[in-house]
Amino acid sequence: MADYSIGERILGDRLYEAETSRLSESEQVTNLKHGVVREAYELFLTHFGPCPLNELKAAVAPGRVNLIGDHVDYCDGFVLPMAIPLYTAALGRLSSDQRRGFSNIFSSQFSDPILLHQPYDQINPESETWGRYIRGVFALTKCDMCLDIVIHSTIPMGSGLSSSAALELATYHLVSQFLPNPLPTGVESAELCRRVEHEFAGVPCGIMDQFVIALAENGHAIRIDCRLLTYDLIPMSISHDTLFLIINSGIHHTHADGEYAKRRKMVDDALKKFGVPSWRDVTHEIIREKSSVLDAATVDCAHHVVGEIERTVKASEALLDNDITHFGRFMCESHYSLKDKYRVSCPEIDELVSMALSCEGVFGSRMTGGGFGGCTVTLVRKDKVEDVKNYVKENFKNGSPTFYESEPVSHASVVELDFLSKP
């Protein structure tokens, strides 16, 4: 059995002793939230016309970047993400006609509106596409009202920054304001929104995305135990001299969703052959002993899962120690494991990682998210960020990358709209 007790105990002791950073959000982050809500409000006025502010409700949810621990959240592993200041806003009102039998939804990211017809627990996957996420939230929260809703987001779709989970959590917090009794927050909201992915979107995801978006705090990464559904907030004091630079490749390979499901089935089937209840009970030795009854690709995937769980524990300790060198090394090891063992990277992402690692002041770089495109995350000295950006812009030939200098922000929440009445 894999032994994580020492790592967990050390982490707990250091968290207890660590000086935590202030949990209140910066004025800049507040302005970003208000900005995305204001855009949603303008969209609402365009599609639905004037409406008294006291009839409107709003909520926002951040995106997320995973620093290390990919493709192990559905294997009972540890993951280390943080919420980032890219937001999805959901703004809406009760329809004046509650007998019409549908909710009307517009999104700034899609040209056509979605009409969600009641009953909400019946889905038409061919006609609803992105509306399935909203329908799922309505159905699982037992919302039976007709709403007029607009969605606006600064999270790029298909980037691996959790645009779908942010949509679910923003909708969840919006709907909660219209129900007779507010919905539970925290872990319960994350679990419900994961069910939305499974039951309405058909995505067999783990819980990481929903969990971090539901529970993150300003100034902290969050180490999640996906077996116990517990977590530790880890102060990001590492960011005083360095930051995590997210580079969006703009690449999203169309086979990504099918490959994700394929990997999920592969590791689920492998675990049954190991004869243990959880991936946390699997070791590299067990994999080697059972390799004769597994194909080579499955053996590689299994080694990635066990190694990534171990790396995430060690990386968490390095982050607490401000050990930038070792944290960066773990990031690189994670990327090469995802590339060579789990095989979920792609040439464009590998190129971005290599380019970043060739720059002065970079400690580590890796793919982040489900893979087959999307984003990389790079740990870099603040005084070298512009050099990295310029080098990538000049030399990356596979698209037009975009850059996000990220600070860890807080979880999804309700937004009061009184600021809209101010100049």
pLDDT at residue 4 in the model: 52
* pLDDT more than 70, % of the chain: 91
pLDDT at residue 21 in the model: 42
HEC-encoded secondary structure of the chain: CCCCHHHHHHHHHHHHHCCCCCCCCCHHHHHHHHHHHHHHHHHHHHHHCCCCHHHCEEEEEEEEEEEECCCCHHHCCEEEEEEEEEEEEEEEEECCCCCCCEEEEEECCCCCCEEEECCCCCCCHHHHCCHHHHHHHHHHCCCCCCEEEEEEECCCCCCCCCHHHHHHHHHHHHHHCCCCCCCCCCHHHHHHHHHHHHHHHCCCCCCHHHHHHHHCCCCEEEEEECCCCEEEEEECHHHHCEEEEEEEEEEECCCHHHHHHHHHHHHHHHHHHHCCCCHHHCCHHHHHHHHHHCCHHHHHHHHHHHHHHHHHHHHHHHHHCCCHHHHHHHHHHHHHHHHHCCCCCCHHHHHHHHHHHCCCCEEEEEEECCCCEEEEEEEEEHHHHHHHHHHHHHHCCCCCCEEEEECCCCCCEECCCHHHHCC
Selected residue with higher pLDDT from 302 and 236: 302
pLDDT at residue 130 in the model: 87
Question: Mean of the pLDDT values across residues 107-132?
Answer: 83
Pick the range with the lowest mean pLDDT from 249-263, 315-329, 330-344.
249-263
**Is the predicted pLDDT of residue 372 greater than 60, yes or no?**
yes
Instruction: Give the pLDDT confidence of 65-75 residue by residue, as tens digits.
Output: 999 999 999 99
pLDDT at residue 125 in the model: 57
Cβ atoms of 177 and 371 closer than 8 Å: no
pLDDT at residue 399 in the model: 84
Pick the range with the lowest mean pLDDT from 112-121, 281-290, 310-319.
112-121
pLDDT at residue 175 in the model: 98
List 209, 300, 321, 383, catalytic entry: 209
Cβ atoms of 66 and 80 closer than 8 Å: yes
Determine the CATH number of domain 238-406.
Answer: 3.30.70.890
d(CA 191, CA 215): 12
pLDDT at residue 128 in the model: 67
3-state SS class at 214 = helix
Strand order in the sheet with 242-252: 362-368, 373-381, 242-252, 402-406
**Is the predicted pLDDT of residue 375 greater than 90, yes or no?**
yes
pLDDT at residue 239 in the model: 57
**Catalytic residue at 209?**
yes
Selected residue with higher pLDDT from 290 and 370: 290
pLDDT at residue 27 in the model: 87
Selected residue with higher pLDDT from 117 and 300: 300
pLDDT at residue 7 in the model: 42
**Is the predicted pLDDT of residue 240 greater than 80, yes or no?**
no
Instruction: Give the pLDDT confidence of 27-54 residue by residue, as tens digits.
Output: 889 999 999 999 999 999 999 999 999 9
d(CA 264, CA 269): 9
pLDDT at residue 176 in the model: 98
Question: Mean of the pLDDT values across residues 202-228?
Answer: 95
3-state SS class at 49 = coil
**Is the predicted pLDDT of residue 419 greater than 50, yes or no?**
yes
Selected residue with higher pLDDT from 59 and 370: 59
As annotated, the residues of the chain forming the CATH 3.30.70.890 domain(s) are 238-406
As annotated, the residues of the chain forming the CATH 3.30.230.10 domain(s) are 5-235+409-421
Selected residue with higher pLDDT from 342 and 160: 342
pLDDT at residue 22 in the model: 45
pLDDT at residue 9 in the model: 37
Measuring CA to CA, which residue among 222, 179, 161 is closest to residue 20?
A: 222
Determine the CATH number of domain 5-235+409-421.
Answer: 3.30.230.10
Measuring CA to CA, which residue among 191, 273, 232 is closest to residue 80?
A: 232
pLDDT at residue 214 in the model: 98
Q: Name the average pLDDT for the chain.
A: 91
Q: How far apart are the first and last CA of the chain?
A: 61
Beta-sheet pairing, 402-406 with 413-414: unpaired
Question: Mean of the pLDDT values across residues 96-111?
Answer: 91
d(CA 278, CA 288): 17
Model confidence band, residue 259 (pLDDT cutoffs 50, 70, 90): confident
